[in-house]
């Protein structure tokens, strides 16, 4: 093998990766660096002044930031487990049904995913309406929804979960289809019923999918915007993402808004590292 051929073979992987690397650097890495740089300034793009870490220091004493940070974690704590539990439960329930019913269930719960968040949030806002909403008519009480933190977070969590757990069901169902029939038949021969089979054999197979979907759910929930903007656009219900948008684009405080973005990015990065450690520990 000639020297030139050997060099070409070593360079080939880098040449194949080059287009993706160029796209990543151009549209991801450079903008991220720009956001961090912008967070070190006080600017509305008319007047700009260097403040260093001043924007981050102000966040620590900003009640709106601390409130949005608390709300973000509340949304995550309530939304992600509820969505995971619902999708896993239904996936296990329909496992031993006919293919027709499984397909019907997947299509029925995934249909809302085709509808935009703006339309969905508008519909759910009508459902939670204080005076003529379906929810208040069902419970027989006039609950003033969206008038404080908890009366905003609870309906937003329920609405977003019921509208967005279809993709998780499809993934869980696909994972369960990969479970060997031999292991199911062997368990039945040993006298195991379907509840035992689902809890002891099928549920453990969903671990990696649950962890992965939970990570994506956490990242998505931290970036929740439309549900809040169209259902409860108030400080007591806002997330970091919503507060970042309002700070930057409604009040033209782009430096402070960039600081919000950096904090949000760091939180999601920490979650990703935790998820990777959980996956690695499970493989060992």
For the chain, domains (ranges, CATH) are: 3-38 (no CATH), 56-283 (1.10.3720.10)
Q: C-alpha distances in angstroms, 189 versus 116, 141, 185?
A: 48, 53, 6
pLDDT for 10 equals 76
167 in Cβ contact with 110 (< 8 Å): yes
Rounded to 10°, the helix 166-177/63-93 angle is: 40
Q: Does the structure show a pLDDT above 60 at 130?
A: yes
Name the pLDDT band for 8 (thresholds 50, 70, 90).
Answer: low
128 in Cβ contact with 146 (< 8 Å): yes
Which pair of structure tokens corresponds to residue 45? 């793009």
In this prediction, residues 116-133 reach a mean pLDDT of 86
Which range of 13-27, 109-123, 180-194, 243-257 scores highest in mean pLDDT? It is: 243-257
Q: Does the structure show a pLDDT above 60 at 282?
A: no
- Residue 58 burial (C-beta neighbours within 10 Å; 0-12, 13-18, 19+): middle
**CA 22 to mean position of chain CA atoms:** 27
pTM for the full predicted model: 0.87
DSSP label at 94?
T
């Amino acid at each position: 093998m000639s020297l030139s051929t050997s060099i070409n073979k070593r360079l080939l992987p880098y040449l194949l990766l080059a287009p993706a690397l160029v796209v990543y650097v151009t549209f991801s890495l450079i903008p991220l660096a720009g956001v961090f740089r912008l967070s070190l300034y006080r600017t509305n793009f008319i007047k700009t002044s260097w403040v260093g870490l001043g924007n981050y220091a102000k966040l620590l004493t900003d009640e709106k930031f601390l409130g949005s940070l608390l709300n973000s974690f509340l949304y995550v704590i309530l939304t992600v487990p509820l969505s995971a539990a619902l999708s896993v439960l239904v996936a296990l329930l329909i496992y031993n049904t006919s293919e027709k019913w499984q397909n019907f269930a997947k299509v029925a719960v995934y249909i809302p995913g085709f509808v935009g968040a703006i339309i969905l949030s508008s519909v759910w806002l009508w459902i939670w309406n204080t005076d003529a909403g379906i929810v208040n008519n069902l419970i027989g009480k006039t609950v003033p929804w969206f008038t404080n933190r908890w009366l905003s977070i609870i309906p937003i969590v329920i609405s977003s979960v019921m509208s967005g757990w279809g993709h998780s069901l499809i993934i869980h169902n696909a994972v369960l289809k990969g479970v060997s029939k031999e292991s199911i038949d062997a368990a039945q021969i040993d006298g195991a019923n379907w509840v035992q089979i689902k809890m002891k054999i099928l549920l453990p197979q969903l671990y990696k999918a649950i962890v992965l979907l939970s990570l994506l759910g956490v990242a998505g929930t931290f970036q929740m915007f439309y549900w809040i903007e169209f259902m409860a656009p108030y400080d007591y219900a806002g997330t970091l993402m919503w507060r970042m948008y309002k700070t930057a684009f409604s009040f033209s405080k782009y430096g402070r808004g960039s600081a919000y973005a950096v904090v949000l990015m760091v939180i999601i990065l920490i979650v990703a590292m935790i998820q990777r450690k959980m996956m690695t520990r499970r493989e060992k």
